[in-house]
Chain A
């Protein structure tokens, strides 16, 4: 008994193979090969080459071969020339050819021995007949006319030895009784294409048929033929063989395309139970070695294989048994294979019922999936959608930030709300800030904070006393205030103007205390404003921008203020903030640049003076970089996959985003991703809004694509090429006639979408001033507006 898959190559492909009755030898037969091998433990040993002799005629070219079921020395072959040849291995001569039956007119496709009468041989031929030969009297004893083009396979029924089944190329299965050679006793159409093979089940009354229609069908012929199982394979099926001792298993090989030999469990007709992929070309024959664990196969690749079932590939084990998908609405769909390890209840049941345990083979065909949908039961509307629809994207930055912060906080996204508020503080209009601030904040807070800050920082300002700081602070605010009014007048963008103005209007001030409070408080906007400790804590980070140590910074502040169209009262505090923002974008680099700016501005000088005052007040170094903060914020939100916030902030920043020096490609990336998400939620209006607000050409062009409307002629339905009023194809302008003046409309053609009539816009307008019905008289009540 061989225990491993072995292979031997031949000089030509074999068309068929057959095993002797004790499965110890195999014969392979083809056009150019006809050999017998002894099956040894780990190799094939050639026992006999039958293709010898001086006259190698077509009788040696075999379509099929059969080994006598009783006599080990008798073989029969079906030759391509229509001969049925009997071989006697016991012949002394070199040529073992014993007898040639030349009865068929065309190729013989199949020879098959009778189960119980070993001297009976039946053949099926391309000429549409089957002939039964008796080897003893060396002649065809019976001829069966199938009335079909050709018989592809013929096989005696193991249960009723006097009957046999024949399949033919017209898709018919016929059942014949040997005793009634004049007519089949049963026939039915089994397939829509030629049937290439059939095989009787060794035990059941099943006949399996294989067809070019890529199916294998199993017919129960105990009564009226019924198709009990159908296997859909991937290619035309050329050969089939039931697997011994496995009731539901059948091996198949394809005629084309598929080089593998598949063993199917007919109860699971979709995926092979086992697959053997050793052959490099399509297999031509399969023969089980009498047991379910090994079989032999020949192939067009000239090899003969001995397969061991354990070496099979199990396609089902590689098949993915599960799937999971996440929907947009926190919905999860999950499908998984039903496990058949019986659950405890089932186990109890089976123990009660004494059911046998299912075997491995059986679990194979118990393949089914359950699919479940998991939904969040507290189904909240998606925050993404709310934010997308709720966020304000254009308008005053302050309003945007306020609004968006409100939207975020009302949904419980406090941090997001704070982020928006911080954005407002950094870039927003200080006037509103001021108004919102409670004017009551105690001065002490400020002092405290400034103290602490100064303590923490390394600057020279540290040495100064609290009082001095405070005074300096006030000073600072005053000077800033002075500038504000002009800034407000001039409007945001003109920095130079405001700066120049500033010196001229020094005296417009709000209460210095108020301003002072505002300053420290800014950071706290989002917070509860009451406690000084809180102020400090929050202040630390947010003060930084406020503290003005360097002259350059203070200048920047002023400039910023102008940018943002400050209102007069707010100026002091707001100014510092804004200034910084502007500078921020290129904090380190801009420093060198500043001198030039300053030089241009007469005011710059004045501002430079101020810094000195400021320094004592808030001695922090120039950490003021809003840009870096903003950049970080934008990138942070992108990194946590909140591209919505990133893009919304970017858009809200308006022109100020230029200072961020963000690569355009990155901005584009963010916006595209956000647009994609909006698309998923069908928020087209938001997407369109963003596209319209976009400053990147590749994005703003997005809704200009595919806006071309093609029109076709109403008469000939050909597309209008050159003009809208003349069809190049049928040379009419009928489709372009005005319903009122009956002239061709060469300009704008207005038409009713309801009835498709229309004409010159002037005529239509006139008409519908006095009428409601269509001018063409079609009776349609057109709507013109």
Chain B
């Protein structure tokens, strides 16, 4: 099954978001410590920190990559009420170290929000260089860079008030011209009396504005994350929702009111799982949209897959602290993630064993963390550790990986 490697991100506070780039070869992390870090994968699959900078003056909530045809471009959003667009440029200085050195520069700062900007996402590339942000005051803002060569000019094209504090947003990634541009937003407002927490907005070509196409009235609990699955040629849209449980909803366009320019959808909840037994924070699709990963307060990542009759099922459970968890067949461990479970319960087969990297060190990550409230800083940016023996033992500290630059 899966083997776990710890990556020492050296963020000084919570990591709020991780984003792969289009090719899955770069990764960006952002944290409350106001830093954004960019990682590159080497040919052995190890991740190396290649850039790190203070991006905002508040917690950085989300980070996202633009399509590579626009360059190496990141967008971030923050508690400091701004969203920013960053571009990596290759130094052209004459000095030996300046030439070819890459660094990230801020191309623009989008300051329209009056409150924390909670999510930022680039539109599918077929729509051009478009950026959507949503903020805690309930506004969705759509920005466009009219000249894709000039990332410092962004115009605010639309702002949509959805009246509830927004926490997350996702673009429908469909490349079909049969599907109008579509955004789904979720609200983390915890008052169920305020009604639905997920709104679907669609761009109406006729009225040239975004209109609310659908409200998922079945979801009235706070929504923490939302993600459209890659469309891959289907005539309906699939939306994963992280709320108090994991839900998968399909939206099938109903053809009948084409004349109004506003499409309507037949929504179906095709899956609903409360296996996390607690708040689900994140959902994420693989590139094919065949596997959904969800993570919750139980500290586990659960992988979901559907079979040929679209029946979704848990295929794997991964523990966030790197300790192995039994496959999907075993009932979910009810114990809190960091309390160690009996050794017999977790088969050691879930972990690859490599004699050369076995470490006998006993101090565990968990213990160290509780002694000292910042994780141990281990030199070398990435470390891989695989160990033998009782899998219920918490992860030993990663072995230093000497990166050769």
Chain A residues, Cβ within 8 Å of B17: 320, 323
Given that A326-B293, A335-B15, A343-B364 are contacting pairs, would A368 and B375 also be in contact in the complex, using a CB cutoff of 8 Å? yes
Can you pick out 23 interface pairs between chain A and chain B where the beta carbons lie within 8 Å of each other?
A232-B34, A232-B58, A270-B12, A321-B297, A322-B320, A323-B15, A328-B287, A332-B301, A338-B365, A341-B338, A343-B394, A345-B364, A366-B369, A370-B365, A371-B18, A371-B29, A372-B6, A643-B232, A672-B126, A672-B176, A673-B175, A673-B176, A679-B22
| Interface residue B31 (Cβ < 8 Å from any Cβ of A) | yes
Cross-chain contact B282 with A322 (CB below 8 angstroms): yes
**Chain A interface residue number, banded:** 35 or more
- Could you tell me which residues of chain A, from 343 to 402, have a CB within 8 Å of some CB in chain B? 343-346, 349-350, 362, 365-377, 384
| Interface residue A318 (Cβ < 8 Å from any Cβ of B) | yes
Cross-chain contact A335 with B9 (CB below 8 angstroms): yes
Cross-chain contact A345 with B394 (CB below 8 angstroms): yes
Cross-chain contact A270 with B284 (CB below 8 angstroms): no
Chain B residues, Cβ within 8 Å of A362: 373
| Interface residue B295 (Cβ < 8 Å from any Cβ of A) | yes
| Interface residue A716 (Cβ < 8 Å from any Cβ of B) | no
Chain A residues, Cβ within 8 Å of B31: 369
| Interface residue B366 (Cβ < 8 Å from any Cβ of A) | yes
| Interface residue A234 (Cβ < 8 Å from any Cβ of B) | yes
Chain A residues, Cβ within 8 Å of B57: 214, 232-234
| Interface residue B286 (Cβ < 8 Å from any Cβ of A) | yes
- Could you tell me which residues of chain B, from 1 to 60, have a CB within 8 Å of some CB in chain A? 1-9, 11-20, 22-24, 27, 29, 31-34, 45, 47, 57-59
- Could you tell me which residues of chain B, from 336 to 353, have a CB within 8 Å of some CB in chain A? 336-340, 352
CB nearest to A272 among chain B residues = B79
| Interface residue A697 (Cβ < 8 Å from any Cβ of B) | no
Partner among B1, B9, B286, B336 whose Cβ is within 8 Å of the Cβ of A326: B286
| Interface residue A149 (Cβ < 8 Å from any Cβ of B) | no
Partner among A370, A640, A673 whose Cβ is within 8 Å of the Cβ of B375: A370
B188 to chain A, nearest CB (A): 6
Chain B residues, Cβ within 8 Å of A334: 18, 295, 301, 318, 320
Given that A343-B366, A638-B234, A668-B176 are contacting pairs, would A372 and B79 also be in contact in the complex, using a CB cutoff of 8 Å? no
| Interface residue A337 (Cβ < 8 Å from any Cβ of B) | yes
Cross-chain contact A680 with B282 (CB below 8 angstroms): no
| Interface residue A454 (Cβ < 8 Å from any Cβ of B) | no
7 closest cross-chain pairs (CB), A and B? A328-B24, A669-B176, A366-B373, A234-B80, A369-B15, A638-B233, A335-B15
| Interface residue B193 (Cβ < 8 Å from any Cβ of A) | no
| Interface residue B230 (Cβ < 8 Å from any Cβ of A) | yes
| Interface residue A31 (Cβ < 8 Å from any Cβ of B) | no
Please report A residues at the B interface, Cβ cutoff 8 Å: 214, 232-234, 257, 268, 270-271, 315, 318-346, 349-350, 362, 365-377, 384, 638-641, 643, 646, 665-666, 668-670, 672-674, 676-677, 679-682
Give the complex CA separation of A384 and B295 in angstroms: 26
| Interface residue B299 (Cβ < 8 Å from any Cβ of A) | yes
| Interface residue B89 (Cβ < 8 Å from any Cβ of A) | no
Cross-chain contact A669 with B233 (CB below 8 angstroms): yes
Cross-chain contact B58 with A234 (CB below 8 angstroms): yes
Cross-chain contact B291 with A326 (CB below 8 angstroms): yes
| Interface residue B294 (Cβ < 8 Å from any Cβ of A) | yes
Give the complex CA separation of A341 and B394 in angstroms: 14
| Interface residue B374 (Cβ < 8 Å from any Cβ of A) | yes
Give the complex CA separation of A371 and B375 in angstroms: 11
Give the complex CA separation of A375 and B1 in angstroms: 8
Cross-chain contact B233 with A340 (CB below 8 angstroms): no
Chain B residues, Cβ within 8 Å of A328: 20, 23-24, 287
Partner among A232, A325, A641 whose Cβ is within 8 Å of the Cβ of B232: A641
Chain A residues, Cβ within 8 Å of B29: 323, 335, 371
| Interface residue B177 (Cβ < 8 Å from any Cβ of A) | yes
Binary contact readout B214-233 vs A (1 if CB under 8 angstroms, 0 otherwise): 00000000001100001111
- Could you tell me which residues of chain B, from 232 to 254, have a CB within 8 Å of some CB in chain A? 232-235
CB nearest to A641 among chain B residues = B232
Chain B residues, Cβ within 8 Å of A233: 57-58
Partner among B5, B116, B295, B337 whose Cβ is within 8 Å of the Cβ of A339: B337
| Interface residue B322 (Cβ < 8 Å from any Cβ of A) | yes
Cross-chain contact B19 with A370 (CB below 8 angstroms): no
Cross-chain contact B3 with A346 (CB below 8 angstroms): no
Given that A336-B299, A367-B32 are contacting pairs, would A331 and B24 also be in contact in the complex, using a CB cutoff of 8 Å? yes
CB nearest to B115 among chain A residues = A277
| Interface residue B178 (Cβ < 8 Å from any Cβ of A) | yes
| B contact patch SS | loop
Give the complex CA separation of A372 and B324 in angstroms: 12
| Interface residue B285 (Cβ < 8 Å from any Cβ of A) | yes
Given that A233-B57, A320-B17, A346-B370 are contacting pairs, would A339 and B338 also be in contact in the complex, using a CB cutoff of 8 Å? yes
Give the complex CA separation of A370 and B293 in angstroms: 18
Partner among B15, B22, B340 whose Cβ is within 8 Å of the Cβ of A344: B340
Give the complex CA separation of A332 and B293 in angstroms: 9
Give the complex CA separation of A261 and B87 in angstroms: 34
Partner among B1, B24, B284, B365 whose Cβ is within 8 Å of the Cβ of A329: B24
Binary contact readout B80-118 vs A (1 if CB under 8 angstroms, 0 otherwise): 110000000000000000000000000000000000100
Chain B residues, Cβ within 8 Å of A373: 4-7, 47
Given that A326-B293, A673-B231 are contacting pairs, would A332 and B370 also be in contact in the complex, using a CB cutoff of 8 Å? no
Cross-chain contact A323 with B287 (CB below 8 angstroms): no
Give the complex CA separation of A323 and B60 in angstroms: 13
A405 to chain B, nearest CB (A): 20
Give the complex CA separation of A639 and B337 in angstroms: 36
Cross-chain contact A370 with B6 (CB below 8 angstroms): yes
B250 to chain A, nearest CB (A): 11
| Interface residue B159 (Cβ < 8 Å from any Cβ of A) | no
Cross-chain contact A327 with B20 (CB below 8 angstroms): yes
Give the complex CA separation of A376 and B31 in angstroms: 27
A688 to chain B, nearest CB (A): 15
Given that A325-B19, A335-B29 are contacting pairs, would A375 and B174 also be in contact in the complex, using a CB cutoff of 8 Å? no
Given that A646-B233, A665-B178, A680-B22 are contacting pairs, would A375 and B3 also be in contact in the complex, using a CB cutoff of 8 Å? yes
Chain A residues, Cβ within 8 Å of B5: 372-375
Give the complex CA separation of A528 and B148 in angstroms: 57
Cross-chain contact A676 with B175 (CB below 8 angstroms): yes
Cross-chain contact B233 with A319 (CB below 8 angstroms): no
Partner among B11, B47, B281 whose Cβ is within 8 Å of the Cβ of A322: B281
Give the complex CA separation of A501 and B332 in angstroms: 71
Binary contact readout B248-291 vs A (1 if CB under 8 angstroms, 0 otherwise): 00000000000000000000000000000000011111111111
Cross-chain contact A321 with B81 (CB below 8 angstroms): no
Chain B residues, Cβ within 8 Å of A257: 81
| Interface residue B367 (Cβ < 8 Å from any Cβ of A) | yes
Given that A320-B17, A370-B6, A641-B232 are contacting pairs, would A327 and B24 also be in contact in the complex, using a CB cutoff of 8 Å? yes
Which of B288, B295, B318 counts the most chain A CB atoms within 10 A?
Answer: B288
Cross-chain contact A337 with B14 (CB below 8 angstroms): yes
Chain A residues, Cβ within 8 Å of B4: 372-374
Which of B284, B321, B373 counts the most chain A CB atoms within 10 A?
Answer: B373
Chain B residues, Cβ within 8 Å of A232: 34, 57-58
Chain A residues, Cβ within 8 Å of B139: none
Cross-chain contact A332 with B367 (CB below 8 angstroms): no
Given A271-B79, A669-B174, 6 more A-B residue pairs with CB atoms under 8 Å apart are A339-B338, A350-B370, A373-B7, A374-B3, A374-B5, A376-B1
Chain B residues, Cβ within 8 Å of A643: 232-233
Chain A residues, Cβ within 8 Å of B296: 322
B3 to chain A, nearest CB (A): 5
Binary contact readout B175-209 vs A (1 if CB under 8 angstroms, 0 otherwise): 11110000000001000000000000000000000
Chain B residues, Cβ within 8 Å of A665: 176-178
Give the complex CA separation of A346 and B336 in angstroms: 14
Partner among B45, B282, B369 whose Cβ is within 8 Å of the Cβ of A338: B369
| Interface residue B210 (Cβ < 8 Å from any Cβ of A) | no
Partner among B6, B27, B308, B366 whose Cβ is within 8 Å of the Cβ of A345: B366
Cross-chain contact B289 with A641 (CB below 8 angstroms): yes
Cross-chain contact A332 with B2 (CB below 8 angstroms): yes
Cross-chain contact B6 with A369 (CB below 8 angstroms): no
